[in-house]
Amino acid sequence: MGQHGRDPVGIERIDRRTFVLRMGAAGGTAMSVSGLLAACGGGGSQPARTGSPASGTAPDPPARPTGVLRAAYNQAPESLDPALGSSALNIACNVYGGLMRFDARGRLVPGLATSVTSDDEATEWVFELREGVRFHDGTELDASAVARSYEHYRGGTSQWAYLIPPKVEFDASDPGVFRIKSRVPVPDVGRNSPIIHILSPKLLAKGKDAAATQAAGTGPFKFVSFRRNSSVVLEANEDFWGEGPYLERLEWAILNEPSARVAALRAGDLDFVYKVGPEQLPPVAGDGSLTVVTDTPWTGTYLILVSDVGPLANPLVRRALAHAIDRQALIDKIALGQAEPLQSLLPAGTYGAVNPSTTYAYDPDESRRLLAEAGVQEGDLTVKLAANPALTTRDLQLSQAIAQMMSDVGIRTSSDVAELTDVVGSVFTGPHKTVPDWQGLTGDLGWLNGGPVFVQTGYLTTVSGYDPAEYQRLANAALTTPDGRARERALAEIQELVATDVPVLPLYQPKISSAMKADVYGYRNPADAWSTYFGTVYRGA
Amino acid sequence: MSVSSPPIGTAGHRRRGVIGRVRRTWWVRYIASRLAQGLIVILGAVTISFLLVGASGDVVEATTAPTATPQEIQQRKHELGLDRPVLERYVENVTNIAQGDFGREYRSGRPAIDLVMTALPNTVALVLAAVVFAWPIALAVAFMSVLKRGTLRDRIVRRGLIALQGIPEFWFGLILVVVFSINLQWFPSFGFNRGLWSLVLPAIALGTPLIPTLVRLIRGQLLDFMALDLATALRAKGISDRRIVVAHGLRNVLVPTISFLTMQLGLLLGGTLIVEAVFGWPGIGQLLLSSIAGRELEVVQAIVVVIACVFVALSLVADLIAFAIDPRIRRGAS
């Protein structure tokens, strides 16, 4: 990374703020900007483990893989190929693995590479590969295998192609070293590497569809079976190069319905459920046989405002809206207390996240004053809000609550449930030539690599139409400056600019909770809110 | 008196031969006619699904990387043939489907029809189990209601059925799980890995809403039968109402009930989504849900067309069963 010069990346010296998360709607593959995860690993904050009689008294992991974990798989994967979308990330995280990975505290640590270095300009990256690693099918890991997977990821059908900068060259001439060379600075190559899983070249050689139904990686678990809309079964890879696995077998049951997942856990048919909704937490927390692990991932809930045309083109009006919204009430009533306040564009824990000096306290009087200053009379302004239930389950309630708060300061509002295709066709069109059907869109955004990837995807610009020259300048700096103070300053200025102009209103940073049997240990929620890693999970006595 | 056949080759012989062939082939023509109607229905399903799939947004933009260039998007559209005129694509679509080619799932590369035919047996098993569960209960309740007509018990049962019909499947399914899986721990809460045991709760959840409709149908038929002169005559012979209902009424309700159930099978096949979601049942409903979410439009179309085919086939089967059971229908058709 840039600021480290030619020194090997001091993995342990880089905290998680160095790594940004994915940008994109949490809705996943269907979203054009579905982003990525912070890869396999832990969340950005210390977890809260509650409800277990064994809390704080975790036994030692078993000496060899033992026991079975039956977990719920929340989103049915159509394909096992991790390059094709987000639904297979849980599997990829446990079967494959990237050159680097994020540890339980969100720090970038060695994965299949023992180190990563770059030159000062971040134009050449060098990954020193781990020796003696073999894929599950017996193939040896070398630079050409890595290059083959990187080529696979930047292929035309890959959803994550944007993680590999365009026009970079892969150098696999030394089997033990994988190099990425570019003519322009590409400062996020190391940070993106946990998301690019390395597949067996033998598997990829079988054809472009082979990885859809089979899996062969280097991860802690080996692929056993995949039954569409039913189950995915893995077994321990006892030759795994890292810690674990401690489980002999990992069985995922594909259950799309959240209530059914919790019911199955309580019935004893499952041992683990990821992302238990706030409304389902009380019965789970009250069950003495279950444990809940809660973390705050690198995800934010936002209201994005169409800022270049229509009723919200005036910044004074957008600031008035910001003052009209009672965020604490949203946290209490919509997120049911399972969220942290969020003032900045970047959620806490992501690379470059700062608290901007410009904030908007809940102040209806100030909101009315700003509206009057903008020349808006009470009842004159109509704002239509959209909520897409495909993105977050509570999106509609959130949108309706915000509509009510806006009504309290004299803004006429309506909130609709927007179908995904409608949102894509009518909202994701900025900069806008005409006023889109909706002027506000609520939803969750997950962050892969923090500011840089967020800027790269152009999500904010596309939805809000907000794209002033100053923002473009800062965005360019954030994308091309190697890690260091200059880059962090650019990101901080972006956050301040956005806080001032309010093309997007940060609402809160939701927590995620996983529920499991009380004898399940070693689990942390993923920082990306997507990839649940079981390599270090074990069953107690 | 002997009846002699017209001499071979005479006009009379030819006429009787034609009539005989007509009598032998009327059912063949009837089936052919119903098959032709079925083909029209299936063509309609293909056409509607093609149009809906085309109107549901840009599949290329939804399934390519967000950083894809306009050239890459155009190339992808070209690969999928989306840059060709709609009519041309429609003709090709119909031709391919007629040959059993529904295209391939974008993400897995598997033939769409394979995915559907893998999921279909699971849904068929679920639907049949639901019918097997609902049918005897409905029959027993209807018999009781007819025999105890107007009594307090009859009124309570009929009011109860109205309430039963209004139960949301989703809620009912979860209640079943809470009671029988969480509290009593009798049945698994999801999946189908424990054989018939796994089928019990989903079948109850799917079959229970069927019961009120079936009861009303059977009860109405039985009451009609009991009002006939035949039933009065049987009573006059000293035969009890219970015996009249069981021994004679049942045959009269079979045809409408079987027709109803057969058509209901078709409806259930396409309507198991909620129950499959609650119980994690890997059937057509789940496949449809995940395919829509993943914009796998070839799979969506394959599901729609296969369901239409099943519907047409079941309709034909219902007619044939009715023919076999009821001579009045045979006479009318011939």
Residue B181 at interface with chain A, using a CB cutoff of 8 Å: yes
A71 with A532: CB under 8 angstroms? yes
Size of the A and B interface in Cβ pairs below 8 Å: 144
Angstroms from B62 CA to nearest CA on chain A: 6
Tell me the chain B residues in contact with residue A454 when contact means C-beta distances shorter than 8 Å: none
Confidence of residue A178 (pLDDT cuts 50, 70, 90): very high
Angstroms from A92 CA to nearest CA on chain B: 15
Residue B66 at interface with chain A, using a CB cutoff of 8 Å: yes
Instruction: Closest CB to B282: pick one of A75, A228, A257.
Output: A228
Tell me the chain B residues in contact with residue A390 when contact means C-beta distances shorter than 8 Å: 293
Euclidean distance between CA atoms A470 and A224, whole angstroms: 52
A254 with A471: CB under 8 angstroms? no
Residue B177 at interface with chain A, using a CB cutoff of 8 Å: yes
Instruction: Closest CB to B294: pick one of A78, A212, A213.
Output: A78
B113 with B300: CB under 8 angstroms? no
Closest residue, chain B, to A34 (C-alpha): B66
Angstroms from B283 CA to nearest CA on chain A: 8
Cβ separation B66–A32 shorter than 8 A: yes
Angstroms from A291 CA to nearest CA on chain B: 17
Give percent above pLDDT 90 in chain A. 51
Nearest CA to A105 out of A443, A477, A536 is that of A536
Give pLDDT tens digits for B107-121.
Answer: 777 889 999 999 999
Grouping H, G, I as helix, E, B as strand and the rest as coil, residue B82 is: coil
**Interface pTM (ipTM) of the complex?**
0.71
Return the residue in B108, B177, B178, B187 with the most chain A beta carbons within 10 A, the one to mutate for interface testing. Answer: B108
Closest residue, chain B, to A227 (C-alpha): B282
B151 DSSP 8-state letter: S
Cβ separation B107–A421 shorter than 8 A: no
Tell me the chain A residues in contact with residue B190 when contact means C-beta distances shorter than 8 Å: 253, 255, 260, 264, 269
C-alpha torsion sign, points B21, B23, B26, B28: negative
Element (DSSP H or E) covering residue A71: strand A68-73
Cβ separation B286–A76 shorter than 8 A: yes
Per DSSP, what are the bridge partners of residue A225? A233
Q: Look at residue A385 in the predicted model and tell me its pLDDT.
A: 84
Q: Look at residue B57 in the predicted model and tell me its pLDDT.
A: 61
pLDDT above 80: residue B69: no
Instruction: Closest CB to B65: pick one of A81, A160, A256.
Output: A160
Cβ separation A212–B109 shorter than 8 A: yes
Q: Average pLDDT for residues A234-240, to the nearest whole number?
A: 96
Give pLDDT tens digits for A261-275.
Answer: 999 999 999 999 999
Euclidean distance between CA atoms A145 and A202, whole angstroms: 9
Longest dimension (CA), chain B: 95
Euclidean distance between CA atoms B292 and A256, whole angstroms: 13
Cβ separation A228–B109 shorter than 8 A: no
Give pLDDT tens digits for B209-249.
Answer: 889 988 988 888 888 888 888 888 888 888 888 888 888 88
The residue to which tokens 């809470």 are assigned:
B178
Q: Average pLDDT for residues B180-190, to the nearest whole number?
A: 88
Amino acid identity of B23? R
Instruction: Closest CB to B278: pick one of A29, A257, A390.
Output: A257
Instruction: Closest CB to A76: pick one of B192, B193, B290.
Output: B290
Instruction: Closest CB to B108: pick one of A166, A212, A390.
Output: A212
Angstroms from B69 CA to nearest CA on chain A: 10
Cβ separation A78–B291 shorter than 8 A: yes
Cβ separation A213–B62 shorter than 8 A: no
Residue B75 at interface with chain A, using a CB cutoff of 8 Å: yes
For chain A, the C-alpha Rg in angstroms (whole number) is 23
Model pTM score: 0.80
Strand pairing report for A538-539 and A512-517: unpaired
- Least-confidence region, from A435-439, B134-138, B306-310: A435-439
Peptide bond into A245 cis (omega under 30): yes
Cβ separation A32–B62 shorter than 8 A: yes
Euclidean distance between CA atoms A283 and A94, whole angstroms: 30
Q: Average pLDDT for residues A324-345, to the nearest whole number?
A: 93
Euclidean distance between CA atoms A392 and A379, whole angstroms: 30
B334-to-A47, B25, B32, B198 alpha-carbon distances in Å: 77, 9, 14, 46
B89 with B301: CB under 8 angstroms? no
Cβ separation B72–A156 shorter than 8 A: yes
Angstroms from A181 CA to nearest CA on chain B: 20
Amino acid identity of B112? A
Instruction: Closest CB to A230: pick one of B105, B282, B289.
Output: B282
Confidence of residue A519 (pLDDT cuts 50, 70, 90): very high
Give pLDDT tens digits for A257-308.
Answer: 888 899 999 999 999 999 998 988 988 988 889 999 999 988 899 999 989 8
Give percent above pLDDT 70 in chain B. 84
